[in-house]
């Protein structure tokens, strides 16, 4: 499959790497920031397109991995009607590509990507969707070369999954930011929490999280909850989040 990759962010970079490792033929990369396109082109040993006008029209697949608000514009600018165009966004409906081509789809790898760290793409769930069975099969065929975990997923399911991922990854990471802030106030090191974080995440690989809930809230231990809230009185944001999250646990979880 001949592929053009549009975008140069974390997702574009790691998807490009995975495509190359799977032996796919990337004809070009393009980015709104030409210097980023050249950087990614260097990394992947492929040519860069300096402008949308230079995009190779002979590819089979155009992967749009740009910010959500730019997808429509980039897709339309391609002026391609008979090749497959996919986007990679969790929160964007397939329909945003309507009119850009007769063959449209979604290729959504669910992972948190950074530019510099490779990930094991084989384990990453890839949600796919398309406007025809033929296009879906073409996307599936490519996705299965990268991952063992390819799933048909309509736009509503994909969006729900994206929100769940925000809770599971972005908000989780932010709780660690807050925990580090709190430790700094008493001159303690974040390293103290790293074994705890590793164990917490390892446990949930094997069991559902509802079975792993520990801490004062799930025990409804009001004495400890009040001590903690008292300690956080100087930090309104932490105090409010502690209260809201504890309430959510009390309402939600059965004790283990």
**Near a copy of itself in 2-41, by CB under 8 A:** 10
Question: 114-133 mask for a copy of itself (x: CB under 8 A)?
Answer: x--x-x---xxx--------
DSSP β-bridge partners for residue 30: 6, 49
Least distance to a copy of itself, CB of residue 157, Å: 5
| Dihedral (CA of 225, 226, 231, 234) sign | positive
- CA–CA distance, 32 with 205 (Å, rounded to integer): 39
| Least Cβ distance, residue 114 to a copy of itself (angstroms) | 7
Give the number of residues written for the chain: 256
Residues 80-109 that bind a copy of itself (CB under 8 A): 91
Q: Which of 33, 141, 214, 220 binds a copy of itself (CB under 8 A)?
A: 214
Within residues 134-193, the interface with a copy of itself by CB under 8 A covers 149, 151, 156-157, 159-183, 185-188, 190-193
Alpha-carbon dihedral 12, 160, 104, 72, rounded to 10 degrees: -70
**Shortest reach from residue 22's CB to a copy of itself, in Å:** 18
How does 172-181 read in b/e, with b if 16+ C-beta sit within 10 Å?
Answer: eeeeeeebee
Residue 190 Cβ vs a copy of itself, minimum distance, rounded to whole Å:
6
Nearest Cα to 89, choosing from 3, 19, 162, 149?
162
Report the nearest approach of a copy of itself to the CB of residue 84 (Å).
Answer: 24
Residue 45 in the binding site for a copy of itself (CB under 8 A): no
Cα–Cα distance, 256 to 241 (Å, whole number): 23
Taking CB under 8 A as the criterion, the residue among 82, 208, 233, 234 binding a copy of itself is 208
Element (H, E) at 73: helix 71-77
Nearer to a copy of itself, 48 or 107 (CB): 107
Residue 212 found at the interface with a copy of itself (CB under 8 A): yes
């Amino acid at each position: 499959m001949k592929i053009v990759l549009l975008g140069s962010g974390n997702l574009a970079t790691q998807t490009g790497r995975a495509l190359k490792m799977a032996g796919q033929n990337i004809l070009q990369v393009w980015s709104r920031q030409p210097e980023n396109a050249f950087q990614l082109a260097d990394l992947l040993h492929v040519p860069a397109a300096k402008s949308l006008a230079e995009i190779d029209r002979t590819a089979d697949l155009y992967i749009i991995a740009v910010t959500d608000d730019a997808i429509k514009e980039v897709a339309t600018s391609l002026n391609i009607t008979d090749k497959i165009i996919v986007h990679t966004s969790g929160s964007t409906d397939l329909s945003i590509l309507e009119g850009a081509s007769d063959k449209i789809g979604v290729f959504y790898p669910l992972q948190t990507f950074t530019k510099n760290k490779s990930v094991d793409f084989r384990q990453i769930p890839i949600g796919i969707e398309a406007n025809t069975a033929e296009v879906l099969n073409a996307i599936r065929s490519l996705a299965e070369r990268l991952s063992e975990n390819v799933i048909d997923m309509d736009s509503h399911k994909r969006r729900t999954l994206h929100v769940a991922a925000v809770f599971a990854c972005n908000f989780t990471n932010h709780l660690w930011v807050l925990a580090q802030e709190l430790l700094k106030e008493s001159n303690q090191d974040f390293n103290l929490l790293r074994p705890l974080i590793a164990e917490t995440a390892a446990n949930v690989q094997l069991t559902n999280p509802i079975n792993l809930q520990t801490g004062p809230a799930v025990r409804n231990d009001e004495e400890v909850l009040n001590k903690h809230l008292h300690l956080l009185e100087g930090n309104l944001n932490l105090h409010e989040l502690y209260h809201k999250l504890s309430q959510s646990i009390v309402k939600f979880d059965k004790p283990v």
